[in-house]
Amino acid sequence: MPDRMTRRIDVTGAGGVRLAAWEYADPPRTLPEPRRAEPGQSRAAPLSDRPGVLLLHGLMGRASHWAPTARWLSERFRAVAVDQRGHGHSEKPPGGPYDRDAFVADAEAVVERLGLAPVALIGHSMGALTAWQLAARRPDLVRALVICDMRASALGARSQREWEAWFDTWPLPFATLADVRAWFGEGDPVLERPLPSRGAFYAETMTERADGWRPLFSRRQMLTARETWVHDAHWEELAQVRCPTLVVRGIDGELGRAEAMEMVRVLPYGRYAEIPDAGHLVHYDSPDGWRAAVEPFLSEVLVA
């Protein structure tokens, strides 16, 4: 089987913000066009003809967090992951904006400028909120939706204060990436038990500076982005989503079963999946369980 390829694409988002996206291709574009299939044989569709899938990470995340998912998606679909504004290799405008309209408009721009519509959106946490808000506002662009461990209820001012306090506990800079993995996977006071997958997740969000390893993002900007959605409930826009939607939660995640089931009830075409042995970082904690839940859903709703 040919090696897979990742290609970076720069996309202009809302207000001219530069967004870094990655397209995953299997087989690579550099291979010659396959021969015409004989009767009874199958051939992979050209990449441009495959259903598009856009992957949206959560707060503090980055496109590379989706790499394992994008690789198996690329076997059948056109898979693109994007660093949202303020994250990864995308632009981080000092004055923002980092509100909901900006994030949704950015995702809309990626879908339209890369010709992904009608697209399947897969979002984790804040990225899932962006995904369902785009699906509600532009149903013509979205044909399917996967919501991963994001609540529709308001989280409130206390939650925001807890995040501010948590950021203050980070022992920056970290001397090595191993120290990053150790602190986020074991040493973070909020942890009830060691979570090596969490350490790996946060190691992906760091970059080496002159004094050590620091986040690729501004913690101030992350709090600004979070401030724009934690105080509000998002049930109304969820109910406006008209495409098939899979709500996925880790059994130890932030989205409780009762709220997840209510989200499924509110959605006109909602479905539910629960991943054992997974917390909030479902696709990191249980990659096989995540794939087992998502792949059949996408195969049903995207493949004629």
State the CATH number of the domain containing residue 119.
3.40.50.1820
Return the SS3 of 29: coil
Do both 15 and 107 map to the same domain? yes
Model pLDDT, residue 124: 98
Do both 215 and 128 map to the same domain? no
In a domain, 166, yes or no: yes
Return the SS3 of 210: coil
Return the SS3 of 114: coil
Model pLDDT, residue 36: 35
Per-residue model confidence as pLDDT tens digits over 249-292: 999 999 999 999 999 999 999 999 999 999 999 999 999 999 99
Other CB atoms within a 10 A radius of the CB of residue 179 amount to 18
Q: Nearest to residue 233, comparing CAs of 93, 133, 118?
A: 133
Do both 98 and 242 map to the same domain? yes
State the Cα–Cα distance between residues 280 and 291, nearest whole angstrom: 15
Per-residue model confidence as pLDDT tens digits over 155-202: 999 999 999 999 999 999 999 999 999 999 999 999 999 999 999 999
Residue 50 in this model has a pLDDT that exceeds 50: yes
Give the residue from 180, 197, 222 where a domain finishes: 222
Residue 34 in this model has a pLDDT that exceeds 70: no
Q: How far is CA 190 from CA 151, 163, 169, 286, 287, in A?
A: 20, 11, 10, 21, 23
Do both 212 and 251 map to the same domain? no
Give the residue from 195, 222, 249 where a domain finishes: 222
Model pLDDT, residue 87: 98
Q: How far is CA 182 from CA 76, 121, 147, 216, in A?
A: 36, 32, 29, 18
Model pLDDT, residue 96: 95
Do both 145 and 163 map to the same domain? no
The average confidence (pLDDT) of the chain is: 92
Question: Which pLDDT band, with edges at 50, 70 and 90, does 25 fall under?
Answer: confident
Mean pLDDT of 91-116: 97
Model pLDDT, residue 33: 39
Question: What whole-number percentage of the chain has pLDDT above 70?
Answer: 91
**Cut 0.75: pTM above it:** yes
Other CB atoms within a 10 A radius of the CB of residue 230 amount to 18
Contact 111, 117 (CB under 8 A): yes
Do both 61 and 162 map to the same domain? no
Model pLDDT, residue 37: 31
Mean pLDDT of 216-238: 96
Q: How many domains does the chain have?
A: 2
State the Cα–Cα distance between residues 100 and 227, nearest whole angstrom: 10
State the Cα–Cα distance between residues 129 and 4, nearest whole angstrom: 30
In a domain, 32, yes or no: no
Mean pLDDT of 199-220: 97
Contact 131, 123 (CB under 8 A): yes
The total number of residues shown for the chain amounts to 304
Model pLDDT, residue 40: 40
Instruction: With residue 295 as reference, give the H or E element that holds it.
Output: helix 287-302
Do both 22 and 170 map to the same domain? no
Top-confidence residue, 37 or 240: 240
Contact 277, 285 (CB under 8 A): yes
Mean pLDDT of 206-224: 97
Do both 166 and 287 map to the same domain? no
State the Cα–Cα distance between residues 270 and 260, nearest whole angstrom: 10
Give the residue from 222, 241, 274 where a domain finishes: 222
Do both 107 and 181 map to the same domain? no
Do both 112 and 240 map to the same domain? yes
Q: How far is CA 67 from CA 23, 52, 62, 219, 237, in A?
A: 10, 16, 10, 24, 29
Instruction: With residue 5 as reference, give the H or E element that holds it.
Output: strand 5-12
Domain that holds residue 141: 5-26+47-155+232-302
Question: Which pLDDT band, with edges at 50, 70 and 90, does 49 fall under?
Answer: confident
